Chain A
């Protein structure tokens, strides 16, 4: 049984992590094609560092979920994050049948609200989330440096972009969703442009592409934040299944204090 929508939001949250990338000084980057281990580690660390964000985040998100031989489904939702407190919230706005439904994540608790029933349901995180392949780690901030060993695999080209290619292997004893990752990082901007996720067996599970990144100044960070505007995820196991996530109208301003509560979500459905 699959909850592909939740899955896509989970993957989105995973990518939302890079969403919060702060653009550090240009001086930190290396213009040369070849990297030594220390330089490779530095780049991945940079990606990690940018992902930690103390401010609030709000954006309007569109999701198009396509399953092979099925009519695609589209959703619109508001996504809110408060990284300082590890809080995350998705509030569906369209279509009508979904409007008002929400996921609220506080610490390790994942709550699901349906205005139709008016009840909150605890989604247990200890196992797979609601039958999806997503796990708790999908919700956490990206800790590539902490969880993976980086190996530089040379420079490459992705479309017109010059990229560094990295192979990341999970460190011993780290509980990660995917033990091996391949990352294509833009040499100029240091944004992830492509990410491949592999199972322990070496099988490619999912490929994600980030063709558009946007830069936005964050008051709380006193610096720029990079946001992927468009994410295209392809299910490599079930060919033909794909998800497009479009992030619009991002706002990095401070959100209401009491937003990440059940009461706030409930108040939206009358």
Chain B
């Protein structure tokens, strides 16, 4: 009997048992659909994560010290702590050795870590400014008076803010709250201000220590940064571009915020929420009426209206109040109520009020807590756990083209490597010498935890301090260490680095070059090891692997289920069709024929429904490739490397899915076919009798 004939019988069976066909078919189609769509989705995400990582920080390969305590993870550990990868002594010699490899295009030295800036709260800000004005050589009386008025006004606003709420604020104990009330009243009195000029230092300290802490606002900015050769970094990451301000000039110490971070974390809270709402309304066509997310942002703005009124001086409040009343068509006297009314925006008035904010309010508030051109006291934690600070000028902000909105690509701000070394607190020979001197002065033995109780022997009994002939004199005049604003290229290249990005001519050679670098390091004693971008990205790199694994397990389970159902239904069919099969065998059909009959039936099912599923999946991928999947929320934006994810269809994926369908058909047929082949004509006849 021909294959054609068998195929026809198989097709007949498929259509004869419609219900069974439909159930098995739907499962098969779903598996194929999921395989095509899911893989395209995961590939889209991992592709986006790969390019946003390799083109913003890791390069193709990362190298770091072979004796590192931890594995390199440029994004830090899962818990947010930085990894301890030690350091490599000389960038120059490592670079020289690596550049002999014809596959390597360039090496960019780096060090990634965390730092913080605490710009203080708004009163701290005004008080520090006033202190400087008093200390300046040319004291401008008018300017000082205006600053004092502003501070007094702010203190009154704080008082208003806390009125009747002292008890609600859990942070203050009852005694503290009572004292705070007294202090606020004191500042409200005329006499506090009358002798301000003659006693400025004390008055400012009083305000800073007693009044400023009553603004319950944590203003600390934490961020990740990469210390590098900024010029080389810009050149080797071609997507790099300056957004605001200017590039750090060559050979100069400096800092660049990533624009994404600057606009999302450093900007005035109300302003950045308004920006985000505007963007979502435009890009994702969301409306305030329908989007819970946008409504929450409006609500947060209303609740945090203090972010505006605490920053406005008396004159500014009056000006803004007038304009606000005009805008809203009201005659509200209470500025806070007026401001809250203004901030309760709707779809109809959003654009108008947004424009109003930037035109009439923004000029009076601190729009960014750190301004371009500011010199930042940037503090970080050294390897030894102590905190250090450097003075560093913020030259501007940057971004990577086509990854403007990727939180992953926007993770790192940039500074020069020389400042990083200082922040990181490398133990210098000079420091070791000083350590020895201090230890000698201490004159103590190291006693381990286990033998500590030996210290409690009678010989160490408590005793009176005998008046010493001469207590040690400590010189309390310190030389202010002025951080050099410039450095030489030699200083930069000769010193240590923590890790470095290696760029290749052809990225498909990553594995081979990693091997070559590791071999070279052994033979030339470079003390480095090389890892792929994926390893260097730590948990970010592993995440794409995990996603693929989870998806495959999911698809595998659904296909396994389909296979089992096919097998089960075929087995039932074999039992139901005992007479038919027995008759076929009686008229001379071979066991092979029976096997083929079952196999074709399954193959037909798999290809038909698998094909339908794959086609539907492909169609959806093509559509989503055009319109994109909008990222809802920060987590999705992170994974999508931007506000939308665009899928790409890989044709080979469809072939792969179809091949898997054939394999399922083959596997699912085996047992029922074997059972059917065992049916003898005799059995069929007996049954009939």
Contacts and interface: CB of A to CB of B under 8 A. Distances in A.
A64 B462 contact: no
B285 interface: no
Contacts of A250: 465
B18 interface: no
Given A76-B438, A94-B438, A214-B465, A3 B120 contact: no
A96 interface: yes
A209 B452 contact: yes
A118 interface: yes
A244 to B, nearest CB: 6
A114 B431 contact: no
A4 B218 CA distance: 22
Contact of A131 (B381, B389, B430): B381
Nearest to B431: A95
Interface stretch (B303-311, B359-367, B471-479): B471-479
A270 B438 contact: no
A101 to B, nearest CB: 8
A191 B437 CA distance: 32
Interface string B427-447: 100111011011101101011
A109 to B, nearest CB: 5
Contacts of A242: 449
Interface stretch (A27-35, A40-48, A120-128): A120-128
B442 to A, nearest CB: 5
Name the residue among A73, A212, A268 with the largest chain B CB count within 10 angstroms: A73
Given A60-B474, A159-B457, A67 B444 contact: no
Contact of B120 (A60, A114, A121, A214): A121
B387 A270 contact: no
A93 to B, nearest CB: 5
Contact of B438 (A95, A189, A191, A261): A95
Given A93-B476, A106-B205, A115-B480, A232 B390 contact: no
A117 B449 contact: no
B488 interface: no
Interface in B365-409: 375, 377, 379, 381, 383-391
Q: Is the interface of A mostly helix, strand, loop or mixed?
A: strand
B456 interface: yes
Contacts of A122: 118, 120-121, 124, 212
Given A214-B462, A230-B444, A268-B478, A3 B377 contact: no
Interface in A224-270: 226-227, 230, 232, 234, 239, 242, 244, 246, 248-251, 261-263, 268-270
A1 interface: yes
A202 B480 CA distance: 46
Contact of B464 (A62, A106, A107, A214): A214
Contacts of A222: none
A161 B457 CA distance: 7
A193 to B, nearest CB: 6
Contact of A108 (B213, B385, B390, B427): B213
A155 B381 CA distance: 43
B299 interface: no
Nearest to A261: B205
A269 B463 contact: no
Interface in A56-80: 60, 62, 64-67, 69-76, 78
A230 B462 CA distance: 11
B415 to A, nearest CB: 15
Given A64-B444, A76-B438, A114 B213 contact: no
A1 B382 CA distance: 10
A39 B117 CA distance: 51
B449 A1 contact: no
Interface in B112-133: 114, 118, 120-121, 124, 128, 131
A159 B456 contact: yes
B97 interface: no
B69 interface: yes
A73 B434 contact: no
Contacts of A130: 387
B452 to A, nearest CB: 5
A211 B444 contact: no
B650 interface: no
Contacts of B447: 232
Contacts of B523: none
Contacts of A248: 472
B476 A214 contact: no
B455 interface: yes
B522 interface: no
A26 interface: no
A118 B439 CA distance: 29
A226 B465 CA distance: 10
A114 B389 contact: yes
A45 to B, nearest CB: 21
A116 B480 contact: yes
A79 to B, nearest CB: 12
B460 A211 contact: yes
21 contacts: A65-B385, A65-B386, A66-B446, A71-B432, A74-B442, A96-B481, A97-B431, A97-B481, A116-B391, A117-B375, A124-B220, A159-B455, A161-B456, A191-B462, A193-B456, A214-B464, A216-B464, A230-B444, A232-B447, A261-B201, A261-B202
Interface of B: 69, 81-82, 114, 118, 120-121, 124, 128, 131, 171, 176, 201-202, 205, 208-210, 212-213, 216, 218, 220, 375, 377, 379, 381, 383-391, 427, 430-432, 434-435, 437-439, 441-442, 444, 446-447, 449, 452-458, 460, 462-465, 468, 471-472, 474-483
User: Which 9 A-B pairs rank lowest in CB-CB distance, beginning with the nearest?
Assistant: A159-B456, A117-B377, A100-B478, A4-B385, A211-B455, A95-B434, A74-B438, A5-B386, A249-B471
